[in-house]
Chain A
């Protein structure tokens, strides 16, 4: 009751919270991250527009890792609104995977990933890809527990996309510019694309690649190897400092 004048009106009590509205998602993401880090698994969140070449990039990764005689065991979960085409393509490429059918949801959240992990042997992998829903908007704001975020951007999408979707590009550690074999047929200017990235990413990093011709795939494999370094360290190899800004939370709950 109001203590000021005793009028009987209910009292208005201000409660300071200052907490993220995605706190629940972030707790589950922390939980996922602890699992990945604890098992020495590099988890990579792969985002990008529909048709940008996310699945093709992962297929090329499997081919290149095999060709380079990498002892990596790959795995994936693949978000798909209505089908399991992507997961089947990945399985055919030798990447054990499972699809997460998201229905109308436009992004993956940490809980969807957590549930999917129960059905996929992720612990027996070294590099685990989380292929997000094709979308340049909302996936960027949901932490899934990944060690690194990658945006796949194809040259057919136009060099202004980073400026149009700054939230996505600001959130990623690496941009993979795909379908570069098409550059001679297009008006796209890759220098303009790099310039656009520098205006939305404080530490821009991009790899120009063609999954079809194999151009740039070696640089992508080297980048993955670099990200894997801290995890290899955990198994007794060389440990390197982790360079990017995504924290690996260890607090539970």
Chain B
């Protein structure tokens, strides 16, 4: 279950940032989760609940934003329907994936600073 190791990496990164800014508490964390990131949102959330106890994230709210995968032709910009062959029938170009759809990104923190 790699979601747990991802959460550990996330908590470590947030902890570093909180210390660097002398924050007393992490209020919220916003993460965007791509549909092709290889991360299961439910497993990610349950790993979060398990791993955050006793860390700077113990009371933080995790805000997950899901990014759907959208393939389109880089030339004519036509959007492919889910399950389509990923090559534009008109331009013969291989499809391109939207930004963030294959990534797991730590977007924003809300820190409580004294």
Which of A19, A23, A141, A198 is within 8 Å of B85, CB to CB? Answer: A198
Q: Is B17 an interface residue, CB under 8 A from the partner? A: yes
Q: How large is the interface on B (under 10, 10 to 19, 20 to 34, 35 or more residues)?
A: 35 or more
A22 CB contacts on chain B under 8 angstroms: 6, 9, 104
The 8 A CB mask of A1-30 against B (1 = contact, 0 = none) is: 100000000111111111111111100000
Q: Is B37 an interface residue, CB under 8 A from the partner? A: yes
Counting residue pairs across A and B whose Cβ atoms lie within 8 Å, the total is 106
Report whether over half of chain A's contact residues are helix, strand or loop; otherwise say mixed: mixed
Given A10-B24, A107-B2, A167-B102, decide whether A202 and B96 contact each other with a Cβ distance below 8 A.
Answer: yes
Instruction: Determine if B38 and A137 form an interchain contact, defined as CB atoms under 8 angstroms apart.
Output: yes
Q: In chain A between 100 and 143, which residues have their CB closer than 8 angstroms to a CB of chain B?
A: 105-107, 109, 137-138, 140-141
Instruction: Determine if B85 and A170 form an interchain contact, defined as CB atoms under 8 angstroms apart.
Output: no
Query: How close is A155's CB to chain B, nearest CB, in angstroms?
Result: 21
Given A20-B104, A202-B71, decide whether A138 and B38 contact each other with a Cβ distance below 8 A.
Answer: yes
Cα distance, A198 to B97, chains bound together (Å): 14
Q: How large is the interface on A (under 10, 10 to 19, 20 to 34, 35 or more residues)?
A: 35 or more
Instruction: Determine if B113 and A10 form an interchain contact, defined as CB atoms under 8 angstroms apart.
Output: yes
Q: In chain B between 88 and 114, which residues have their CB closer than 8 angstroms to a CB of chain A?
A: 94-97, 102-114
Given A16-B108, A17-B109, A22-B6, decide whether A202 and B37 contact each other with a Cβ distance below 8 A.
Answer: no
Which of A12, A18, A107, A171 is within 8 Å of B111, CB to CB? Answer: A12
Given A13-B111, A138-B2, decide whether A21 and B94 contact each other with a Cβ distance below 8 A.
Answer: no
Instruction: Determine if A11 and B96 form an interchain contact, defined as CB atoms under 8 angstroms apart.
Output: no
B27 to A, closest residue via Cβ: A12
B5 CB contacts on chain A under 8 angstroms: 105, 109
Among A10, A11, A198: residue with most chain B CB under 10 A: A10
Query: How close is B102's CB to chain A, nearest CB, in angstroms?
Result: 7
Report whether over half of chain B's contact residues are helix, strand or loop; otherwise say mixed: mixed
B17 CB contacts on chain A under 8 angstroms: 15, 17
Query: How close is A112's CB to chain B, nearest CB, in angstroms?
Result: 11
A170 to B, closest residue via Cβ: B36
B102 CB contacts on chain A under 8 angstroms: 167, 170-171
Query: How close is B59's CB to chain A, nearest CB, in angstroms?
Result: 13
Q: Is A200 an interface residue, CB under 8 A from the partner? A: yes
Binding site for A on B (CB under 8 A): 1-2, 5-6, 9-10, 13, 17, 21, 23-25, 27, 31, 36-39, 71, 83-87, 94-97, 102-114
Please name 19 further chain A to chain B contacts, defined as beta carbons within 8 Å, in addition to the given A105-B5, A141-B2, sorted by A numbering: A10-B24, A10-B112, A11-B112, A14-B109, A14-B111, A15-B17, A17-B17, A20-B106, A21-B10, A21-B13, A21-B31, A21-B104, A21-B106, A22-B6, A24-B13, A107-B2, A163-B83, A167-B37, A202-B86
Counting from the closest, the 5 A-B pairs by CB-CB distance are A202-B94, A138-B2, A141-B38, A10-B112, A167-B38
